[in-house]
């Protein structure tokens, strides 16, 4: 299988290190499975600003629009804290999401059995956890107008506007219902309809979409603050959670820590189908650029590896191969291999970033 195009944007901090381990797996697929990817690489974030004076060059944006999928490492770092807001590294990522119209952010929170004791919650609460948070990504309070810091009388006021249209809510709701049909067939929609008009509209539209086309899926509604509490109390009650941009940002990070480490969690951001029928897509680990450990071989590459597995599943229709990668990760963890973020247990084997990548490739070999 060929002509699967992939743009790799390693980014800043530990991004290049974790992406190097994904490149090993991409090479393995070409050598061992006859699946070759047309890979191009470019800059995003702080490194792009250093070279181009912008966190995302127009040429890079054009490449992202043309490929089947984009795989990103991480952006940002204290070096760039004093830049103008318009050219901060994170603006490159936001531009990718906005111009590719990546409206559905998929954030799985899965607890591997080997790491159940690593969560801050009791083992029986998190063991076997497998939930998916679908976060609306291109609208809401992060993009609404008016926004800014203005002078009113003798003081400044900061303004951000929460804004959603029916069509924006409908399309992310449909994405959540479609995912649920392939999982546990349950969706919980979270908003703040008790105090926000946008929350009232959100609940109404999700309910309408459900009644019209997804009555076979179990639907429930929950206020987002109550949802945060329930995620900490008994997260396994959920299958798919769908929510807006702001609440999704908060809830998905809370869910991430149920699994023990941000270094374990991937994400996918999906848009409308292209001419090929594949959705526009960006895949990235949930963790940040971690500049304090960059270049030391301490970074955990698993989240980036699992992000590539999500690309196999959602962009390349290779669900069985995605399962293969995920099972390879599960095997190395069961064998006791741990990067620096996962140390603390007795009887485990500390490994570097590169050694973890090599172990995953060895587990892929063993799967054949």
Distance between CA atoms of 59 and 41, rounded to whole angstroms? 12
Catalytic residue, chosen from 50, 101, 130, 225, is: 225
The answer to whether the annotation marks 80 as part of a ligand binding site is yes
The 10 Å Cβ neighbour count of residue 273 is: 10
The answer to whether the annotation marks 76 as part of a ligand binding site is no
The answer to whether the annotation marks 154 as part of a ligand binding site is no
Q: Which residue in 94, 72, 65 sits closest to 272, CA to CA?
A: 65
The answer to whether the annotation marks 82 as part of a ligand binding site is yes
| β-bridge mates for residue 6, sequence order | 39, 69
The answer to whether the annotation marks 171 as part of a ligand binding site is no
335 an active-site residue?
A: no
Distance between CA atoms of 29 and 134, rounded to whole angstroms? 29
The answer to whether the annotation marks 298 as part of a ligand binding site is yes
The answer to whether the annotation marks 325 as part of a ligand binding site is no
The answer to whether the annotation marks 271 as part of a ligand binding site is no
Q: Answer whether the bond into residue 84 is a cis peptide, omega within 30°.
A: no
49 an active-site residue?
A: no
192 an active-site residue?
A: yes
Q: Under DSSP, is residue 180 helix (H, G, I), strand (E, B) or coil?
A: helix
Catalytic residue, chosen from 42, 68, 164, 192, is: 192
| β-bridge mates for residue 152, sequence order | 155
The answer to whether the annotation marks 77 as part of a ligand binding site is yes
Residue located via tokens 């490194």: 47
Distance between CA atoms of 82 and 200, rounded to whole angstroms? 39
Q: Which two tokens stand for residue 331?
A: 């095997």
Whether 330 contacts 110, CB under 8 Å: no
Residue located via tokens 């008016």: 146
Catalytic residue, chosen from 29, 142, 283, 314, is: 142
The answer to whether the annotation marks 163 as part of a ligand binding site is no
The answer to whether the annotation marks 88 as part of a ligand binding site is yes
Whether 191 contacts 226, CB under 8 Å: no
Whether 73 contacts 11, CB under 8 Å: yes
280 an active-site residue?
A: no
253 an active-site residue?
A: yes
Catalytic residue, chosen from 50, 101, 130, 253, is: 253
**221-248 burial, b if ≥16 CB within 10 A, otherwise e?**
bbbbeebbebbeeebeebbbbbbbbbbb
The answer to whether the annotation marks 79 as part of a ligand binding site is yes
The answer to whether the annotation marks 279 as part of a ligand binding site is no
Catalytic residue, chosen from 249, 280, 283, 314, is: 249
CA 136 centroid distance within chain: 12
**Mode of pairing for the β-strands spanning 4-11 and 37-41:** parallel
The answer to whether the annotation marks 50 as part of a ligand binding site is no
The answer to whether the annotation marks 291 as part of a ligand binding site is yes
| β-bridge mates for residue 266, sequence order | 285
The answer to whether the annotation marks 131 as part of a ligand binding site is no
The answer to whether the annotation marks 11 as part of a ligand binding site is no
Distance between CA atoms of 284 and 297, rounded to whole angstroms? 19
Angstrom CA distances, 350 to 182, 195, 326, 347, stand at 36, 49, 20, 10
The answer to whether the annotation marks 277 as part of a ligand binding site is no
The answer to whether the annotation marks 344 as part of a ligand binding site is no
The answer to whether the annotation marks 275 as part of a ligand binding site is no
The 10 Å Cβ neighbour count of residue 61 is: 18
The answer to whether the annotation marks 238 as part of a ligand binding site is no
Specify binding-site residues for Mg(2+). 225, 249, 253
Specify binding-site residues for substrate. 97, 107, 135, 225
Specify binding-site residues. 77-90, 97, 107, 135, 225, 249, 253, 288-300
User: Which residues are catalytic, by number?
Assistant: 142, 192, 225, 249, 253
Specify binding-site residues for NAD(+). 77-90, 288-300
């Amino acid at each position: 299988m060929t002509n699967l195009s992939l743009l790799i944007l390693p980014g800043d901090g530990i991004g290049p290190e974790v992406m190097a381990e994904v490149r090993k797996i991409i090479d393995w697929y070409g050598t061992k499975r006859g699946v070759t990817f047309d890979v191009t690489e470019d800059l995003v974030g702080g490194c792009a600003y250093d070279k181009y004076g912008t966190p995302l060059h127009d040429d890079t944006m054009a490449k992202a629009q043309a490929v089947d999928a984009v795989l990103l490492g991480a952006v940002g770092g204290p070096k760039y804290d004093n830049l103008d807001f318009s050219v901060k590294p994170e603006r490159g990522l936001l531009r990718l999401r906005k111009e590719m119209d990546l409206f559905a952010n998929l954030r799985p929170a899965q607890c591997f059995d080997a790491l159940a004791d690593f969560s801050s919650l009791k083992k029986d609460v998190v063991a076997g956890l497998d939930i998916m948070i679908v976060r609306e990504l291109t609208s809401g309070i992060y993009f609404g107008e008016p926004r800014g810091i203005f002078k009113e009388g003798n003081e400044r006021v900061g303004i951000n506007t929460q804004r959603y249209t029916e069509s924006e809510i409908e399309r992310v709701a449909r994405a959540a219902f479609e995912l649920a049909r392939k999982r546990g067939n349950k969706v919980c929609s979270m908003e703040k309809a008790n105090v926000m008009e946008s929350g009232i509209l959100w609940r109404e539209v999700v309910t309408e979409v459900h009644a019209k086309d997804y009555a076979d899926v179990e639907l429930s509604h929950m206020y987002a603050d109550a949802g945060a509490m329930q995620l900490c109390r008994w997260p396994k009650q959920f299958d798919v959670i769908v929510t807006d941009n702001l609440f999704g940002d908060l809830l998905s990070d809370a869910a991430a820590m149920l699994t023990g480490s941000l270094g374990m969690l991937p994400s996918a951001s999906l848009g409308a189908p292209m001419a090929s029928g594949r959705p526009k897509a960006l895949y990235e680990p949930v963790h940040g650029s971690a500049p304090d450990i960059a270049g030391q071989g301490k970074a955990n590459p698993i989240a980036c590896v699992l992000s590539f597995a999500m690309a196999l599943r959602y962009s390349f229709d290779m669900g069985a191969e995605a399962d293969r990668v995920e099972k390879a990760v599960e095997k190395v963890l069961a064998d006791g291999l741990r990067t620096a973020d996962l140390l603390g247990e007795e009887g485990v084997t500390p490994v570097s970033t590169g050694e973890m990548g090599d172990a995953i490739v060895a587990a892929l070999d063993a799967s054949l």
